[in-house]
Amino acid sequence: MTGVRRVDVAVIGGGPAGVAAAVTAAEAGAGVVLVDGAPRLGGQYYRRPPAGSEQLSRGRRRHRWRAFDGLEARLEELVAAGRLQVLPGTTVWSAEGGSPFLLRTRGGDRDPLAPVGLLRARTVVLATGAHDRQLPFPGWDLPGVMTGGAAQALVKGSGVLPGQAVVVAGTGPFLLAVAATLLRAGGRVVAVVEANTPHRLLTRPSELLPGLGRSGQLAGFAALLVRHRVRYLARHRVLRAVGGDAVGAVVVARVDGQGRVRSGTERELACDVLAVGQGFVPQTDLAVQLGCPVGTGTDGGPAVTVDDLQQAGVPGVFAAGESTGVGGAELALVEGLVAGAAAARRLGLAPAVDQDLLRRRQRRVAGLRRFADALHRTFPADPGWAQRVDDATLICRCEEVTAGRVREAVTGLGAADPRTVKLLTRAGMGWCQGRICAEAVDRLCPPPPDPAAGTARMLSAAKRPLAVPVGLGALAAMDGPGPDPGHPGAGPAGPSAGGSPGPRPLSTPDQPRRDQEGPTP
């Protein structure tokens, strides 16, 4: 087992929110560790290949990277000065409350026996991001069908195009970003298939204003599509992906305001990749583990509830970026800054950011949130999906459970909520623990009587004691003897003579620490 690291601030997630928070807190004098699962910081948005292999990427760096580059330069200075430590390729799989917080980490998948890492932190900033939101359709499990995020990550992180001919489909402005990434890398985009009506956004100028920068960016994407003669099919939906061992085409059709297909508008688009997404689902596993209040965001997904200091409801825990509700990279940067400053202030430090600027940032957060909400209202994720999806459609990819089996559990076996459906069908019990299918299963259940009940059952599904699977051998090694096994204060745990263990303290007060009084050096 590796030693226990003790820090003032543990920032989880190396995207824009996490980097901004880490830099802000470290510049204020806090001892900071930034933990990220990827080999290089940047998150999904600023994804790049690992250091030393940048030339893999085909596109050209643009001026819009400056905001992140600036942060990263400051981060490198802090790292060089020993004031900030980055743990790349490291995933926090469990977060436990208390004083200090206890985070358990692991490395990559290659070695299930690799020891568990322990991190004790006085404050925690959750910047865990989001993943693409999916609603199943026939053929969505065919190889070649992937999320928009997957297509982007391939290009940005590995310099590889996902295929020769890509259909980008689903809803939301992210579809344009995916298409633009593919086009700039020299890829061919067959069509962008948008289920909603983007120009509705223009009817809400007051909400648009704060997002002007992003609107301009979207206009740029649109121009790029025109330049490459990419078909943009608004109010069109993917009906199914077809193919034998992999996707060969997608069938799309025009839909009305309720998402119903207009007869005679079906058409088949040949492709070898379908990049699909309906927006994003915030990663809230660690927030739920820590007991932070999680509510329903404007896009219907879970979102960590935060105040204007990004405090997440549990003293010492802050959340920033997509985990507090999907809002884009600029919002994430600003929230990260606010969270980092607030975490430092909680430790009795004075953040370098002055109060006026901080207040302006907080107002900016509010404006960008309004813009994000407007986007979510403009690009809803197929409200009529549950009524239309046919019984043969796969819902849970891991355990191979169809919509028909979920419906049978509901109508035949009396399941009224996603958890009971899971227990009866195994939907959501596989490798991904329902991260992909949770929303689909929830929608196939009887509707909750009120929003609070809806949030409750979403939360129940979002409760995952492990944020990522852990090798049993690694877990076993956490069991004593040892000075600091998996639990605070647990002593050596040798076998007792009778073969039966004696009583063992389940919880003892944490040892006094040198750094109790002030920030770590």
Partner 1 sequence: MTGTLPTGGLPTGGLPSGGPRTGGLPAGGGRADPRPAPRSRSGELPRTVDAVVVGAGIVGAACAHELAVAGLSVLVVDRGPVAGGTTGRGEGNLLVSDKEPGPELNLALLSLRLWREYGDLLGPGCELEAKGGLVVASGPSALAPLFRLAQLQRAQGVIAQTVAPDQLPAIEPELVRGLAGGVFYPQDHQVQPMLATAMLLRRARVLGGAEVVTGCEVIGVRRGHGGEVSGVVTDRGTVATPVLVNAAGTWGGQLSRLAGGPVPVLPRRGFVLVTEPLPVLIRHKVYTAEYMANVASDDAALQTSTVVEGTPSGTVLIGASRERVGLEPGMDWSVIARLAARAVEVFPVLARARLLRSYSGFRPYCPDHLPVIGPDERVPGLFHACGHEGAGIGLAPATGRLLAAAVTDRRPELPLTPYSPNRFGADDAT
Partner 2 sequence: MPPEPMPPEPTPPEPTTPPGTGPEEFQVRLDGRPVPARAGQTVAAVLLAAGVRSWRTTRQAGRPRGLFCGIGVCFDCLVTVGGTPNVRACVTLAEPGDDIRTQQGTGWPLPVPASGTGAAAGTGAAGGTEKAAGTEKAAGTAAAGGTEVAR
Q: Taking CB under 8 A as the rule, does residue 404 contact partner 1? A: no
Of 142 and 253, which CB lies nearer to partner 2 in the complex structure? 142
Q: Taking CB under 8 A as the rule, does residue 496 contact partner 2? A: yes
Q: Taking CB under 8 A as the rule, does residue 288 contact partner 2? A: no
Cα four-point dihedral sign 94, 332, 462, 468: negative
Residue closest to 182 by CA, chosen among 156, 202, 201, 204:
156
CB 434 within 8 A of CB 422: yes
Q: Which of 164, 469, 511, 513 binds partner 1 (CB under 8 A)?
A: 469
The listed partner (partner 1, partner 2, none) that binds 186, CB under 5 to 8 Å by sort, is: none
CB 146 within 8 A of CB 274: yes
The listed partner (partner 1, partner 2, none) that binds 424, CB under 5 to 8 Å by sort, is: partner 1
Of 349 and 365, which CB lies nearer to partner 2 in the complex structure? 365
Q: Which residues contact 257 (CB under 8 A, 6 or more apart)?
A: none
Q: Which two tokens stand for residue 317?
A: 């825990």
The stretch near partner 2 (CB under 8 A) out of 65-73, 199-207, 288-296, 351-359 is 65-73
How many residues touch partner 1 (CB under 8 A)?
A: 72
Q: Which of 503, 509, 512, 521 binds partner 1 (CB under 8 A)?
A: 503
Give the x-and-dash track for 94-133 against partner 1 (CB under 8 A): x-xx------x-------xx--------------------
Q: Which of 11, 21, 29, 46 binds partner 2 (CB under 8 A)?
A: 46
Q: Which of 424, 436, 438, 444 binds partner 1 (CB under 8 A)?
A: 424
Q: Taking CB under 8 A as the rule, does residue 470 contact partner 1? A: yes
Q: Taking CB under 8 A as the rule, does residue 160 contact partner 1? A: no
The stretch near partner 2 (CB under 8 A) out of 7-15, 306-314, 348-356, 395-403 is 395-403
Does residue 59 sit in helix, strand or coil? coil
Location of structure tokens 């065919």: 142
Q: Which residues contact 52 (CB under 8 A, 6 or more apart)?
A: none
Name the minimum Å distance from CB 469 to partner 1. Answer: 4
Q: Taking CB under 8 A as the rule, does residue 59 contact partner 1? A: no
Location of structure tokens 């219907």: 300
Q: Which of 4, 431, 513, 516 binds partner 1 (CB under 8 A)?
A: 431
Residue closest to 270 by CA, chosen among 246, 241, 250:
250
Q: Which of 50, 293, 367, 384 binds partner 1 (CB under 8 A)?
A: 293
Rounded to an integer, what distance in angstroms lies between the CA atom of residue 56 and that of residue 506? 51
Cα four-point dihedral sign 465, 470, 471, 477: negative
Q: Which of 29, 31, 100, 210 binds partner 2 (CB under 8 A)?
A: 210
Rounded to an integer, what distance in angstroms lies between the CA atom of residue 24 and that of residue 6? 19
Q: Taking CB under 8 A as the rule, does residue 313 contact partner 1? A: yes
Residue closest to 322 by CA, chosen among 308, 336, 340:
336
Q: Which of 417, 437, 439, 519 binds partner 1 (CB under 8 A)?
A: 417
Name the minimum Å distance from CB 85 to partner 1. Answer: 24
Give the x-and-dash track for 436-455 against partner 1 (CB under 8 A): ----------xxxxx-xx-x
The listed partner (partner 1, partner 2, none) that binds 473, CB under 5 to 8 Å by sort, is: partner 1
Rounded to an integer, what distance in angstroms lies between the CA atom of residue 370 and that of residue 64? 22
Residues in the chain, total? 521
- In degrees, rounded to 5, the angle at the alpha carbon of residue 243 between the alpha carbons of residues 237 and 248 is 70
Rounded to an integer, what distance in angstroms lies between the CA atom of residue 317 and that of residue 12? 11
How many residues touch partner 2 (CB under 8 A)?
A: 92
Of 262 and 463, which CB lies nearer to partner 2 in the complex structure? 463
The listed partner (partner 1, partner 2, none) that binds 64, CB under 5 to 8 Å by sort, is: partner 2
Query: Phi, psi (5° rounding) for residue 47?
Result: -70, 135
Q: Which two tokens stand for residue 462?
A: 């979002």
